[in-house]
Amino acid sequence: MAKATTRFVCQQCAHVEPKWAGRCPSCGEWNSLVEEAIRETKTLTAQIRAGGGSFSHMGAAQSRPRPITEIEISERQRQSTHIAEFDRVLGGGIVPGSLTLIGGEPGVGKSTLMSQLCGNLAAQYGTTLYISGEESVEQIKLRAVRLSALHSDLLLASETDIGVIASFVEQLKPKYLVIDSIQTMISPDVDSAPGTVSQVRAATSALAALAKGKRIPIFLVGHVTKEGAIAGPRVLEHMVDTVLYFEGDAHLTYRILRAVKNRFGSTDELGIFEMRSEGLVGVENPSAAFLAERPIGSPGSTVTATMEGSRALLVEVQALVAQSYLNSPRRVTNGVNRDRVALVLAVLEKRLGLTLANMDVFVSVAGGVRVEEPSADLAIALAVAGSFLDRPVGGNHVFLGEIGLSGEVRSCTQIEKRLREAAGLGFGGAILPQKNIGRESQGIGLELFGVETVRQAVERALLAPQANPAVKPAADV
């Protein structure tokens, strides 16, 4: 029986089938199986490994099992990118031999960030190679001129063949390599079209061998699918050391860089940039930037402090409650988890008697930031209640606390950092969980009000219950 020379690979999950099917049996996606040829020649990855003498020797030596007590840990000397926000997300700088993937929507600023990065690295450390499969070298230079990223050690090439790029690295011996983008790269080992799972996997595998063998940090730029994940998601993300997502609305000035995978540092850190004519500029005081346009004394506007890694950020939470004329009132959220908002609305209706079932509710975090942690629950609840009652919430206070299903306000972590950030921006007080009132929260210069329930927070921030007929007395709940 003749050996099969083709196979069918799912472009969503990389599942392999010997024959075509309309639906992938692994991920269930329709029309995702693409025919690819099977080649039995020596792969480019194997050639790179064989050619990088020290890398081949290292692999053979480390393959033998050894006692853990005999293994020596080598210190990885990080190198700064001279972009403070970028270093923060990487965990302190670039690790030699690391493979970093940067994804984001078209137009968000990935190529701009990479051009600035290459200009800094070339000026500080030497030869930096920028490979583009989408733009000509003239286009890249025009952008570099605008960004003031010109340097004689910054080398440009427009190429898509991984084999040719490997030869460039062998000849030029660059200190850093940037590939823009990985979906345009072609590996000679695979006969499928560029951008397919097999091509992306083969190209990334070859580049990973190049990074580890030559100890060259490599940055890959990746496209994002309509679902918001990097194209070829799990296949690509599992092969690299660090995965960064560059987020932001093209119509807004702020961009956010966050890590979703980092073998050399934390994934909790956040980098915040402002898009200007001269390029991306790190925001030194993001809390002040996010609150710059906050309407003081407006109903439905509150401020909370959220932790992003080691940094506390003050963000504005806005809510609008309006009469609905639909059978199913709308619940629209932006920057917050919709399920968390639904939970808060249910607590407000059940525990405080606010009639929200026939209301459209819109909740948004201003500035394009996404708040994931539950400590913003109290700020959301007070913003919704303030908009429903058409009364402003204390404009000089911040609100912290997680809300439970019984209406209790639960404590939040790292309270001292949150309160110090609020005090530094001129806030005068904070409404927070009673359990957070203690030694860590004292002496910061804020007037603190501890609450145990949402009702107490609403009464403190808005009105006494007897003066507000929309809030039922405690005995009626």
The amino acid sitting at 438 is G
Find tokens 């940067």 and name the residue.
Answer: 102
* 3-state per-residue secondary structure call for the chain: CCCCCEEEEECCCCCEECCCCCECCCCCCECCEEEEECCCCCCHHHHHHHHCHHHHHHHHHHCCCCCHHHCCCCCCCCECCCCHHHHHHHCCCECCCCEEEEEECCCCCHHHHHHHHHHHHHHHHCCEEEEECCCCHHHHHHHHHHHCCCCCCEEEEECCEHHHHHHHHHHHCCCEEEEECHHHCECCCCCCCCCCHHHHHHHHHHHHHHHHHHCCCEEEEECECCCCCECCHHHHHCCCCEEEEEECCCCCCEEEEEEEEECCCCCCCEEEEEEECCEEEECCCHHHHHCCCCCCCCECEEEEEEEECCEEEEEEEEEEEEECCCCCCCEEEECECHHHHHHHHHHHHHHCCCCCCCEEEEEEECCCCCECCHHHHHHHHHHHHHHHHCCECCCCEEECCEECCCCEEECCCCHHHHHHHHHHCCCCEEEEEHHHCCHHHCCCCCEEEEECEHHHHHHHHCCCHHHCCCCCCHHHC
Question: Would you say 109 is a known binding-site residue?
Answer: yes
On whether 105 is known to bind a ligand per the annotation, the reply is: yes
Q: Known binder of ligand: residue 429? A: no
Residue 234 · residue 75 · CB < 8 Å: no
Q: CB under 8 Å to 368, separation ≥6 — which residues?
A: 247, 248, 249, 252, 254, 256, 335
Is 271 annotated to bind a ligand? Reply is no
Is 401 annotated to bind a ligand? Reply is: no
**108 among annotated binding-site residues:** yes
104 is in an annotated binding site: yes
Bind-site residues: 104-111
Bind-site residues for ATP: 104-111
